[in-house]
Amino acid sequence: MVSAGTSEHEVAVRVRGLVNRFGTQTVHNGLDLDVRRGEILGVVGGSGSGKSVLMRAILGLRPPQAGSIEVLGRSVSGQGESLQTLRRRTGVLFQDGALFSSLTVRENVEVPIRTHYRDIGSPLRCELARLKIRLTGLKVSAGGKYPSELSGGMRKRAGLARALALDPELLFLDEPTAGLDPIGAAAFDELLRTLADALGLTVFLITHDLDTLYAICDRVAVIGDGRVLVSGPLEEVEAFDHPWVRDYFNGPRARQAKAAQGRRER
């Protein structure tokens, strides 16, 4: 793994020697990764390289075969209460948004508050949910709608509002711009960057979207061959000598994304 030195207090997520297997298939084979406090880390890699499995392992949703994972200084293999505390400090937006279809957007956003803070009464819970809905750029009226009544972009924002329900320090996003048109995707990227800066979030962001990498990520980690091939700022990662990295960062789509980034900076 290629990575600049990182001191202890800067690390929000530390993964060491991670091994994940499904039957005879080894997905991760001694994977090391650091997510630094306050950064947006873009996580990329070929289809099936194990990005989602890595996210699930960090979230404590899948016990690995070997290795250690620390989130905000606590071991994820810890039981019960410590995992609950971590969950309170962590927001997640799964790939499909994973909203409950039978609940309105507001009720969806209330679910984590109801689960983790039972003593918060209904009026305050409702008010907090409205606040998160507004924070993600949705109108308050969207709170009364069911997921099936929303556009793809609105559903992503609703999922983000639910991920932010507990004021997390850490945000995990699995392909948040997948399925959005380029304008919707760019707007979502901008929202993420603004919220991350304003709320001081640390963000673990799985994406295939080169525009997202160039527009909002502070560093990028490339997953391949069962480990992190390289992690660092984009210009370091682009220069890394590996066939997948070369193809991904030097293809026509990457050139377009870089050109768009250049235009934004001018």
Ligand X SMILES: Nc1ncnc2c1ncn2[C@@H]1O[C@H](COP(=O)(O)OP(=O)(O)OP(=O)(O)O)[C@@H](O)[C@H]1O
Nearer to ligand X, 50 or 112 (CB): 50
Stretch that binds ligand X, among 10-18, 41-49, 228-236, 241-249 (CB under 6 A): 41-49
Written as one string, the DSSP assignment of the chain is -------GGGEEEEEEEEEEEETTEEEEEEEEEEEETT-EEEEEESTTSSHHHHHHHHTTSS--SEEEEEETTEETT--HHHHHHHHHTEEEE-TT----TTS-HHHHHHHHHHHH-TTS-HHHHHHHHHHHHHHTT--GGGGGS-GGGS-HHHHHHHHHHHHTTT--SEEEEESTTTT--HHHHHHHHHHHHHHHHHHT-EEEEE---HHHHHHH-SEEEEEETTEEEEEE-HHHHHT---HHHHHHHHSHHHHHHHHHHHHHH-
CB of 62 to ligand X, least distance (A): 8
What tokens does 3 get?
Answer: 């990575």
- The distance of closest approach from Cβ of residue 98 to ligand X in the complex, given in angstroms and rounded to an integer, is 15
Which lies closer to ligand X via its Cβ, residue 20 or residue 90? 20
Q: Taking the complex as a whole, how short is the minimal distance between the CB of residue 31 and ligand X, in angstroms?
A: 12
> Shortest gap between Cβ of 22 and ligand X (angstroms)?
4
Q: Contact between 27 and ligand X (CB under 6 A)?
A: yes
Q: How far is the CB of 105 from ligand X (least distance, A)?
A: 25
Residue 47 or 101 having the CB closest to ligand X: 47
Tell me how many degrees the CA angle 54-59-62 measures, rounded to the nearest 5: 65
Does residue 28 belong to the site contacting ligand X (CB under 6 A)?
A: no
For ligand X, the closer CB: 61 or 259: 61
Of residues 53 and 254, the one with the C-beta less far from ligand X = 53
Considering beta carbons, is residue 5 or 22 the nearer one to ligand X?
Answer: 22
Span 43-102, contacts to ligand X by CB under 6 A: 45, 47-53
Q: For ligand X, how many residues bind (rule: CB under 6 A)?
A: 10
The correct pick among 8, 9, 22, 148 for binding ligand X (CB under 6 A) is: 22
Contact call for residue 222 and ligand X (CB under 6 A): no
Q: Which residues of this protein are in contact with ligand X, per CB under 6 A?
A: 22, 27, 45, 47-53
